[in-house]
Amino acid sequence: MKFAFVFPGQGSQSIGMMNGYVDLPIIQETFQEASDILKQDFWSMVNSGPVEDLNLTVNTQPLMLIAGIAVYRAWISLGGAKPALLAGHSLGEYTALVAAEVLSFADALTLVRFRAQAMQHAVPEGIGGMAAVLGLDDEIIRTVCHDITQQCNGESLEPANFNSPGQVVIAGHKNAILQGMEMAKSRGAKRAVMLPMSIPSHCSLMKPAAESMQQQLEGIALQSPKIAILHNADVKSHSDALSIKKILVQQLVSPVRWVDTIHAFAVAGMTHVIECGPGKVLIGLNKRIDQSLQQLSLIDSETIKQAVSLR
């Protein structure tokens, strides 16, 4: 068994998502550590909500980092081996950086809180957005985005997430998205759906956030990864601090190349991909990308114990 770990990002959060792990003390200990660092009660939020708080970007990003690291620590504490490769979907890349010992947990928490605030401030509410386009070839979507950007006087539309074959998320100005959805449907898309997100992630509208992150990263110490990470923006692993900082800045304005990432795992000889964190969002995508890879999800303490016993 040669396995990679993947860490989920925004969109996997839900009230009660940690209920399946309550018999593992390290889970609540990790939440307490994070709450002490950020001076906010994340354990109460994840258990009681309200859902509006849970879904605020400035809360969701640290919350998903905490959840991913809590589950990873539980895996290690139960005797799980270190993975051969890591990746994280968007925000999940920061969870991977902590697991690879590139970033300390404390630095990662303050960094993702800053990242969320920078993303929120980059584009005023109501100006941008994101939409999922289903059942259309990637190249056609690229062409649609290009054509709409040419037509929409000063507004932009770009692919933001290549999530799985036939599922691509587009991002940009709201008017450009609405026109892009209609054009995508006219060119064969099965569906095009606006996502409940006001932040147009992973596109050029995030340039102000990328510039802020670049400055913020200058004051943070990064170590060489103990486990190789495939980064969203270029699907490569980087070993020096300068390159990692550069690729984290680039991530904000570049599409998440998830399809390429899962294919790269297969090429690297992985046999299993394990989703480390609550939910099964990534497993659903991964199964549609490469059926030769075994997919597991650590959604509760029982699944962690079962996965640890695999050899």
Are 48 and 77 spatial neighbours (Cβ–Cβ below 8 Å)?
A: no
Known active-site residue 90: yes
Distance CA 110, CA 104 (A): 10
Catalytic residue among 12, 35, 90, 201: 90
What the block records as the tokens of 124 is: 């005023």
Q: Print the SS3 string covering the chain.
A: CCEEEEECCCCCCCCCCCHHHCCCHHHHHHHHHHHHHHCCCHHHHHHHCCHHHHCCHHHHHHHHHHHHHHHHHHHHHCCCCCCCEEEECCCHHHHHHHHCCCCCHHHHHHHHHHHHHHHHHHCCCCCEEEEEEECCCHHHHHHHHHHHHHHCCCCCEEEEEEEECCEEEEEEEHHHHHHHHHHHHHCCCCEEEECCCCCCCCCHHHHHHHHHHHHHHHCCCCCCCCCEECCCCCCCCCCCHHHHHHHHHHHHHCCEEHHHHHHHHHHCCCCEEEECCCCCHHHHHHHHHCCCCEEEECCCHHHHHHHHCCC
Within 8 A by CB and 6+ apart from 306, the residues are: none
Catalytic residue among 156, 173, 201, 202: 202
What the block records as the tokens of 34 is: 């994070």
Known active-site residue 202: yes
Are 171 and 205 spatial neighbours (Cβ–Cβ below 8 Å)?
A: yes
What the block records as the tokens of 53 is: 């708080």
Active site (catalytic) residues:
90, 202
